[in-house]
Amino acid sequence: AETAMSQGVLSASLAAGWAVLANSDSSLVQSADNTLSFTLRPSVEQDIGASVTIGGLTGSQTVDTAQLTVAGADAASFQATGAWLNAGSLVLTVKTALRSDTNY
């Protein structure tokens, strides 16, 4: 016999996401090389192979590429290259599991 439940079965209450704690660029000059820097913190742990998409990066003259170099203090947490989409996003792939209480 089936029993109807009056309450939800799942207890998940935290949506997966990322906090952008800081972002900066190295140049404001058009056509100049520019390094983008981000400090991020996941709201939940991120497993190896998870994708991280940073959007809203419009105005670049960089063409689409799957081989944009990832560098910086926590670069080893991600694959060595990310996918840059000129429409305004950068997609990174997690290389080492990321903790929810740590900034990257």
Whether the per-residue pLDDT at 5 is higher than 70: the answer is no
Tell me the percentage of the chain whose pLDDT exceeds 70: 87
pLDDT of res. 19 = 84
- Give the contacts of 13 (CB within 8 A, at least 6 positions apart): none
Q: What is the mean pLDDT of residues 24-33?
A: 90
Cα 49 from Cα 54, distance rounded (Å): 16
Whether the per-residue pLDDT at 56 is higher than 60: the answer is yes
- Give the contacts of 104 (CB within 8 A, at least 6 positions apart): 39, 40, 41, 42, 74, 77, 98
Whether the per-residue pLDDT at 90 is higher than 60: the answer is yes
Nearest of 50, 66, 65, 59 to residue 18 by alpha carbon: 50
Whether the per-residue pLDDT at 8 is higher than 70: the answer is no
